[in-house]
């Protein structure tokens, strides 16, 4: 290991496995021999800065992982990392707020790569309070991690009516994310333990068993609410913070859900 934390060989192995590429496929893409790829991944050889940059680009590694790999190899990081409140990201933050407000009364939220909740619209805040009334006591600036909300025994999974359908699919996706973001692993495995407890088994969905659009159904004081999600990300970001952000838009899966959201949240600002 290269000191504390993951080593460069481990980082590169995990990034390649996350892309489901063989060493031969990767070698052809970056223009080196399979033997050299094997040597780098075993720690017997060190890539140049240019090769490592090309290697990580071919793996479509997250920008944070590219910086980490560069540091592990002894090179300077490639990308900056400002906070979302930084003046340099003011335009991006304004765009995010506009995007979420336009989605009202349906829920929308911004999360980072660690699943920390950064921003949310009125629809999201109302839905969280409806599904977890204890959230009403949280201050507006409280730090919230959505994986913690999911894995808490009193958390959001208690309201999911079709957990046996969405839980395994969610776990599969999170385990894939954890391949390139190992810091997620403890929270992901906590979710796996909760699903084992609730469903009696920790299983991967069968191939072809997940529908094209996965709908999550919640029990609420206003009846069953059903949503499916879409995600928005920044195109070609050159900052780690922006690259890590995802906007999740929840859409009503039926008219009953749409009617409840319209009645209790109201139209988006500026709409009639």
Instruction: State the pLDDT at residue 210.
Output: 65
* Residue 60 φ/ψ region, left for φ over 0, alpha for ψ in the -120 to 50 degree band, beta for the rest: left
171: in domain: no
Instruction: State the pLDDT at residue 1.
Output: 35
253: in domain: yes
Label residue 209 by pLDDT band (50, 70, 90).
Answer: low
Q: Total structural domains in the chain?
A: 2
CATH at residue 123:
3.30.450.180
Query: Residues 98-150: pLDDT tens digits?
Result: 999 999 999 999 999 899 999 999 999 999 999 998 877 666 667 899 999 99
Averaged pLDDT for residues 181-194 = 92
Instruction: State the pLDDT at residue 235.
Output: 82
Give me the domain span that covers residue 62: 8-72
CATH at residue 35:
1.10.260.40
Q: What is the C-alpha to C-alpha distance for residues 51 and 48, in angstroms, rounded to an integer?
A: 5
Clarify whether residues 12 and 101 are in a common domain. no
Contact 181/114 with Cβ under 8 angstroms?
yes
Clarify whether residues 65 and 15 are in a common domain. yes
Query: Residues 163-185: pLDDT tens digits?
Result: 999 999 999 889 988 887 888 99
Exposure class string for 13-50: b at 16+ Cβ within 10 A, else e: bbbbebeebebeebbeebebeeebbebbbeeeeebeee
H helix intervals, the chain:
8-18, 23-30, 34-42, 49-58, 63-72, 90-103, 122-131, 146-151, 163-180, 185-199, 240-244, 255-264
Query: Residues 214-247: pLDDT tens digits?
Result: 999 999 999 999 999 999 998 878 888 888 899 9
Instruction: State the pLDDT at residue 213.
Output: 82
């Amino acid at each position: 290991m290269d000191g504390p934390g993951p080593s460069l060989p481990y980082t590169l192995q995990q990034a390649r496995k996350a892309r489901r590429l063989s060493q031969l496929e990767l070698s052809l893409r970056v223009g080196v021999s399979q033997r050299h790829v094997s040597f780098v991944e075993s720690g017997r050889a060190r890539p140049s800065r240019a090769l490592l940059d090309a290697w990580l680009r071919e793996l479509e590694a997250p920008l944070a992982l590219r910086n980490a790999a560069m540091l592990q190899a002894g090179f300077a990081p490639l990308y900056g990392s400002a906070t979302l409140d930084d003046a340099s990201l003011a335009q991006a933050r304004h765009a995010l707020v506009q995007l979420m407000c336009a989605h009202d009364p349906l829920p929308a939220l911004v999360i980072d790569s660690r699943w920390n909740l950064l921003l949310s619209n009125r629809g999201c805040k109302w839905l969280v309070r409806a599904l977890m009334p204890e959230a009403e006591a949280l201050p507006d600036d409280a730090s919230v991690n959505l994986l913690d909300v999911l894995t808490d025994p009193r958390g959001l999974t208690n309201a999911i009516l079709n957990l046996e359908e969405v839980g395994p699919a969610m776990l599969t996706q999170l385990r894939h994310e954890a391949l390139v973001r190992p810091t997620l692993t403890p929270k992901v495995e906590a979710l796996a333990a909760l699903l084992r407890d609730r469903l009696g088994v920790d299983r991967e969905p069968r191939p072809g068993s997940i529908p094209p659009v996965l709908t999550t159904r919640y029990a609420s004081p206003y009846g069953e609410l059903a949503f499916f999600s879409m995600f928005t990300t920044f195109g070609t970001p050159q900052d780690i913070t922006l690259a890590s952000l995802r906007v999740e838009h929840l859409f009503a899966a039926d008219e009953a859900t749409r009617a409840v959201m319209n009645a209790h949240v109201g139209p988006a600002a500026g709409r009639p």
